Copies of this chain bind each other. A is one copy, B any other.
Amino acid sequence: MACGLLSRRVASSLRPCLGLTATGYRQVSQTAANIVEEAEFDGPCMKTEVPGPISRSLSKQLEKVQNVIQVNFFCDYEESRGNYLVDVDGNRMLDVYTQIASIPIGYNHPALTKVMADPSNLGTFVNRPALGMLPPGKFPEKLFDGLMSVAPKGFSRVQTMACGSCANENAYKSIFIWYRNKQRGTSQPTPEEERTSVINQVPGCPDLTLLSFMGGFHGRTLGCLATTHTKAIQKLDVPSFDWPIAPYPKLKYPLDQFERENAQEEARCLEEVEDLIEKWGKKGRPVAGIVIEPIQAEGGDNHASFDFFRKLRGIAKKHGSAFLVDEVQTGGGSTGKFWAHQHWGLDDPADMVSFSKKMLTGGYFYKDDFQADKPFRIFNTWLGDHTKNMFLTEVIKVIRTENLLEEVKKSGKVMLQGLYDLQAKYPHLLSRARGIGTFCAVDVRDEATRNDLILKARNKGVVLGGCGNQSIRFRPALVFKERHAHLFLDIFNDAIAELK
């Protein structure tokens, strides 16, 4: 099977570098107003090892003032185009990681550069508004044209925030406020509550909890971190909240071949969730909300069935806990639907949905009940960045006009089939290929081999990222087409073939 794909293999690292003007792929990108031609490179082009000498020299400079252990290489964002990230040494790589899943429609899409060229946008870039107090006149319009136009069914409200962590932190606060209002039967606190809240004591700061899942990742600020359970390095030495943590189903892939076993595993986890809610309720530390990702991403691309999520949502409702779906990594289209939870097929899938990354702005959709009736309960200086809303509006237009959700389904199919083929070809190295849309992953024999494979692929011109202990996650932009999937698979095969 793999041979079919691989027959079109090209010796990427030897191929002469072709520029924008070469006879490469051309795609037509149509925005609302006019048709523009978007030029993309026709393949990777490697000139040095990565990081190259210029990157290494910049790293030495940066090292003087901050931690550079995590720096992969330095980039030339002006020269990058579409699916191709160009580094400062002139290496051009097919980007299947996209700044940790946060570039929605590729590099330098003309629809976005147009936002910069519009003089009527200048003021918003140069003078950052305190959006909660002094929003720009165009703010409501941009929210309606942008975020609200992709609001999941059932959501009429949205709050922007600067990043994914701030989104979740504030969603958590909204859940706690909502839950306490329910408990006390009024939004009017007692004087005792007011007094004690300022000094971090009950009843003003109540002993409520959030239920999260092993392997879940929801951010790194202290509130979010209490619901993140991925790697020790992210949590070690930081004080936390003692909140309930449920097991996340450990499923066998491909899901459709292990339905019965997986259903049993999911039932076990759901039972544990319900036990935890009851147990913590009895302890006087009730579960105000449940937070979960539709696919655990940072934790290792762990999937659960749509049925699992439907039942979990039912449990939350039954026990009066809010249900928050964290779509920071899954949202924005890469599963082939705009929101991953839309695959579940539920009319009422959640109380809140948080987002960031490919949405460019952080924030969360919420139901009416979750809006505080007093000012300054959910607030900060900037409440996001309106320039991100301006870009997002264009991104959404492009997704529609270029029909990108359909493209994602097509390229995702090529990608997943290619991964199945590769794991059949290299069973001692690859396993558990899985994915929805282009939101795919595969496991590698062990952590060291995984890391080695990522570096080998990079030197052949493909940027990849890891997740979990031994997985590689694939997070291309939405403009990643079938031809890019084939190209990626070819190069990935070459890199695997070099592994011992």
Chain A residues near B (Cβ < 8 Å): 54, 58, 61-62, 64-67, 69-80, 85, 88, 99-100, 102-103, 107-109, 112-113, 115-116, 120, 122-130, 132-137, 139-141, 143-144, 148, 156-159, 162-166, 169-170, 172-173, 176-177, 179-181, 189, 193-195, 197-201, 204-209, 214, 219-224, 226, 229-243, 245, 356-357, 360, 371-372, 374-382, 385, 387, 391
Q: In the complex where A130-B100, A204-B232 touch, is A239 in contact with B176 (Cβ < 8 A)?
A: yes
The answer, among B85, B177, B231, for a CB contact under 8 Å with A134, is B85
Given contacts A69-B375, A201-B242, contact A140 B62 (CB under 8 A): yes
Cβ contact within 8 Å between A130 and B99? yes
Interface pair A221/B220, CB less than 8 Å apart: no
- Report the separation of the CA atoms of residues A234 and B75 in the bound assembly, to the nearest whole angstrom: 41
Note all chain B residues with C-beta closer than 8 A to A133.
70-72, 99-100
* Majority DSSP secondary structure for residues of A touching B: loop
CB of A128 within 8 A of CB of B102, answer: yes
A193 near B158: Cβ-Cβ < 8 Å: no
- In the complex the two chains form, what is the Cα distance from A483 to B73 in whole Å? 50
Chain B residue at smallest Cβ distance from A64: B156
What separation, in Å, do the CA atoms of A73 and B292 have in the docked complex? 37
**Given A130-B99, A139-B62, A223-B223; A70-B379 close (CB under 8 Å):** yes
Q: What is the CB-to-nearest-CB distance from A414 to chain B, in angstroms, rounded to a whole number?
A: 25
Q: Which of A80, A162, A199 has the most CB of B within 10 A?
A: A162
Q: Which residue of B lies closest to A102 (CB)?
A: B381
Q: Would A206 and B237 be within 8 Å (CB), given that A77-B124, A194-B232, A200-B245 are in contact?
A: yes
Query: A193's contact among B126, B135, B236, by CB below 8 Å, is which?
Result: B236
In the assembly, what is the distance between CA of A235 and CA of B194, in Å?
9
Contact (Cβ within 8 A) A129 B219:
no
Number of copies: 2
Contact indicator B200/A242 (Cβ below 8 Å): yes
- 15 A-B pairs with CB atoms under 8 Å apart are A70-B132, A70-B379, A102-B130, A108-B122, A125-B387, A163-B382, A165-B169, A173-B237, A200-B226, A205-B235, A205-B238, A205-B239, A206-B237, A231-B376, A241-B241
CA distance A73 to B130 in the complex (A): 11
- Shortest CB distance A272–B (Å): 14
- Among candidates B116, B237, B241, residue contacting A122 with C-beta atoms closer than 8 Å: B116
In the complex, A180→B237 CA distance in Å? 6
| Min C-beta distance of A20 to chain B, whole Å | 15
Are A222 and B221 neighbours in the complex by a CB distance under 8 Å?
Answer: yes
Whether B108 lies near A127 (C-beta < 8 A) is yes
> Which of A77, A124, A241 has the most C-beta atoms of chain B within 10 angstroms of its own C-beta?
A77
Residues of B near A71 (CB, < 8 A) are 132-135
A66 to chain B, nearest CB (A): 6
| Chain B residue at minimal CB-CB distance from A376 | B233
C-alpha spacing A371/B67, complex, angstroms: 7
13 additional A-B pairs beyond A58-B139, A116-B126, A164-B380, beta carbons within 8 Å, are A66-B158, A70-B375, A74-B137, A99-B127, A100-B133, A102-B381, A116-B116, A128-B360, A166-B166, A179-B237, A193-B237, A200-B235, A200-B242
Chain B residues with CB under 8 Å of A163's CB are 162-163, 166, 380-382
Residue of A122, A128, A239 ringed by the most chain B CB atoms within 10 A: A239
Question: Chain B contacts of A379 at CB under 8 A?
Answer: 70, 220, 234
Cβ 8 A contact of A136, one of B75, B189, B234: B75
When A102-B128, A102-B130 are in contact, do A137 and B235 touch as well, CB less than 8 Å? no
